[in-house]
Structure 1
Amino acid sequence: MDLGGINLAVLVASLMVAAVPIMLAAIGELVVEKAGVLNLGVEGMMIIGAVCGLATAATSGSPFLGFLAAALGGAALSLVFAILTQVFLANQVATGLALTLFGLGLSSLIGQGYVGVKPPPTPRLEFGPLTDIPAVGTILFHHDPMVYFSILMVAVVWAVLRYTRTGLILRAVGENHDAAHALGYKVQRIRLLAILFGGAMAGLGGAYVSLVRVPQWTDGITAGAGWIALALVVFASWKPWRVLIGAYLFGGISVLQLNLQAAGSTIPVEYLAMSPYLITILVLVIISADRGRAALNAPAALGKNFHASR
């Protein structure tokens, strides 16, 4: 089915692909914030994951090793944040911003040797006859493994937070770290593990950009996806399934503006290119207008440092 020269099935399939980087980064950041930590370094961790993933995949010839290296790279950078904020009690906002700046600079340095290098293609999963179903096959059964992995991670995070003791402890630490400490839970250890998970997910999101969406290296390749992921967590009210919906919304906007450009839209290219970021700002403005509801959904200890001696 076509609409104004745009194939709707291909459009939906494309938005599912476009949503993967911000979905992975946002679901990781959601877990971090559920533990009461605000990490603004998502963009830095994503771009480190992008360069580590591309470098490893290009060297080894395996995109899957590239994704593994990206997860480790993102987690390693998040460990720096964890040590500074959880051990030395540095300001979380300032440390997160510094992490982003550091990640952008380090990725540019590492990436100099990989400009123009193409990584090996990431294979798609084969579903046999299901792939040939009109429209449905294109939308649901014509993707690489990371598309399905991103959806799976949303489901896993939702189930863990809602139904498991681990999720209950994580949420307790995010709501009242002093009470959780009084009950005998290791607040710093729990937050450290949450931060490492968030870093790994951000690294995977960055690698998806450099290995699948834009299979090459250029400085600033994530193009603000980390900031959109941060906004998406607030947009989702810290609920995993809303992250999925929000990621597809923002992914759809990104894909639609590209398709409109290709279809020869009369709207100036500059306006189309800025549309995802304008929508992000608009959503945050709307959410900020209802501060009471936003505060009700946010973890009570979000952004507050904890020290056991207090």
Structure 2
Amino acid sequence: MSTMTVEELAVTVRPGFWTRDRRVGAGAVLLGLVAAVLFGSLATGEDARFTLSEDAGGAALTIDGTVGAILFGMVAAAAGAALLAGLPKRWFVPLLGVAVVGVVLSFLCWQVSAAPTGQNFMPLVNIVRGTFILALPLIFGALAGVLCERSGVVNVAIEGQLLMGAFAGALVGTIAANVWVGLIAAALGGALISLLLAIFTIRYLVDQVVMGIVLNLFAVGLTGFLYERLMQPEAAKYNQPPRFEAWPIPVLSDIPVLGPALFRGNIFLYLALILVVVIHVALFRTRWGLRTRSVGEHPTAADTLGVKVLALRYRNVLLAGMVAGVGGASYTLALYTFSKNMIGGKGFIALAALIFGRWSPTGALLAALFFGFADQLGTYLGAIDSSIPSEFLAMLPYLATLLAVAGLVGKVRAPAADGKPYIKG
């Protein structure tokens, strides 16, 4: 039997021309050219106005709709061509971002310029504000996923944690007539689902994915039953929670576009951004973070070094539930009263944001904002009577999720022990 030399083996395993970067680049070139041709031909000769205020007045960025659609489509194609040329990997994310933004701007130049007279403008303040509001539960849910999965526990129960947090916040907040009591109850509601997840998956070694789905169904059933028996017949008594008011930050709230969107928010917006920073620093700069990541990668080695693997997983899973519960309260203590199954799949989008963000708090934040923007874009297009069917607009956040996870992420590696039960020897 002949043996291969080291050189022959290297040639055999050397990756081919069509690497992931080049495949994504080719796709970006194609999308950019299609955008330039299709959106450029559909755009009208009217200007597309992107106002720096909440209405049509004030300063605006203006460009001819046809010119803008073609120009931004070509920018996307150029970014794709750069990826196709095989630039170093550090350029992948920036160029992919340019390509995505280019296609989106090309599309918007068509849509805004073709809108009816008086509606052919996009208020950037409202778009940015709406993006953050819609992304809030996704940010909290994705952070809950980071805490769990970095510890080696798959958290498919984010949907149930968000829903239970929303329910507990509305019910207890209404009974106590205190928004802070409602917030604490929401955190405990999410922790309840996490406690069940931890007990069954860590103690009894139940399959983590199956248990997550079961807990989601449990949360939907329990909150739906209590809603019909308590909240619906006596809404004034059980489903009129107080609201957190907006807390504008002096000076910062006057910054154009970002000021009104970011620094005139409520506690949930500020808390989400603070948690991203705190969890990122804690995860990558502290002893707790080192132990958490070691348990998620190689629990046996961590155990031999004195780390209490099971105790750490219990604590982190419970903490994750509290974070997700607060995310659920961002619905009922800031925007709406509680309704059956009001989360509507956002927990699964948060799980996709976690994967898209590569199990990193900052990556999860950016992914959540991407999905929030897709949701807000659908709302905006519906408001200007877009020719695109409303059913398709409602699909936008889920379509963006599918494309991001299946097409843009490529191969990503979860923590090595993620989803694997640990049995102490």
TM-score, structure 2 normalization: 0.69
Does the residue aligned with 2:248 lie in a helix, a strand or coil?
coil
The runs of at least 4 aligned residues of structure 1 exceeding 6 Å deviation read: none
Paired with 1:77 and 1:140, the residues of 2 have a C-alpha distance of 31
Equivalent in the alignment of 1:208: 330
Identify the structure with bigger relative contact order (alpha carbons < 8 Å, sequence gap 6+): 1
2:267 matched to 1:145?
A: yes
User: Alignment partner of 1:125: what SS?
Assistant: coil
> AA paired with 1:38?
V
Q: Secondary structure at the residue paired with 1:106?
A: helix
Contact kept in structure 2, 1:48 and 1:206, CA below 8 Å: yes
Q: Deviations over 1:7-29 (max 9, x none)?
A: 11121012111111110110111
2:360 corresponds in structure 1 to 239
Aligned equivalent of 2:282:
160
Rate the CA distance shift 1:286–1:135 in 2: closer, same or farther, 3 A: closer
**Partner Cα separation in structure 1 for residue 260 and residue 240 of structure 2:** 26
User: Which residue of the other structure, out of 138, 142, 147, is the alignment partner of 1:22?
Assistant: 138
Comparing both structures, which one devotes a greater share of its residues to helix? 1
Aligned match for 1:114, one of 206, 225, 231: 231
By how many angstroms is 1:187 displaced? 0.5
Residues 27-42 of structure 1: pairs in structure 2 closer than 5 A: 27-42=143-158
Contact 2:245 2:334 in 1 (8 A): no
Question: For the Cα contact (< 8 Å) 1:50–1:207, is it kept in 2?
Answer: yes
> Do the aligned residues in 2 keep the contact of 1:5 with 1:263 (CA within 8 Å)?
no
CA distance in 2, matches of 1:210, 1:222: 11
1:49-95 deviation line (CA, Å, top 9, x unaligned): 11001111112222222121111011011101101111111111111
Instruction: Return the offset for 1:304.
Output: 0.2
- Taking structure 1 as reference, are residues 129 and 241 closer, same or farther at Cα in structure 2, changes over 3 Å only? closer
Query: Aligned to 2:350, what secondary structure does the other structure show?
Result: helix
Residues 154-193 of structure 1: per-residue CA shift (max 9 Å, x gap): 0001101111011000000000011111112110000001
Contact 1:63/1:119 (CA < 8 Å) preserved in 2?
yes
Contact kept, 8 Å, 2:128 with 2:258, in 1: the verdict is no
1:195 CA displacement: 0.5
Q: Is the 8 A contact 2:144 2:158 kept in 1?
A: no
Residue of structure 2 equivalent to 1:228: 349
2:184 corresponds in structure 1 to: 68
In structure 1, stretches of 5+ residues that fail to align are none
Aligned partners of 1:86 and 1:306 also within 8 Å: yes
Alignment of 1:91-130 (within 5 A): 91-112=207-228, 113-115=230-232, 116=235, 117-128=239-250, 130=252
C-alpha change, 1:134 and 1:50, in structure 2 (3 Å) is: same
Letter in 2 for 1:201: V
Q: Is the 8 A contact 2:134 2:372 kept in 1?
A: yes
What is the percent sequence identity of the aligned residues?
Answer: 35
Alignment of 1:274-285 (within 5 A): 274-285=395-406
Are the aligned partners of 2:227 and 2:339 in contact in 1 as well (CA < 8 Å)?
Answer: yes
What's the Cα RMSD here? 1.6
Q: Provide the C-alpha distance between the structure 1 equivalents of 2:408 and 2:262, rounded to a whole number of angstroms.
A: 32
Equivalence for 1:170? 292
Number of equivalent positions: 303
Question: 2 CA distance for matches of 1:131 and 1:287?
Answer: 34
Distance in 2, matches of 1:28 and 1:241, equals: 13
CA distance in 2, matches of 1:178, 1:200: 28
Q: Which residue of 1 aligns with 2:198?
A: 82
Taking the aligned partners of 1:305 and 1:37, their CA distance within structure 2 comes to: 8
TM-score (norm 1): 0.93
| Offset of residue 134 of structure 1 | 4.3
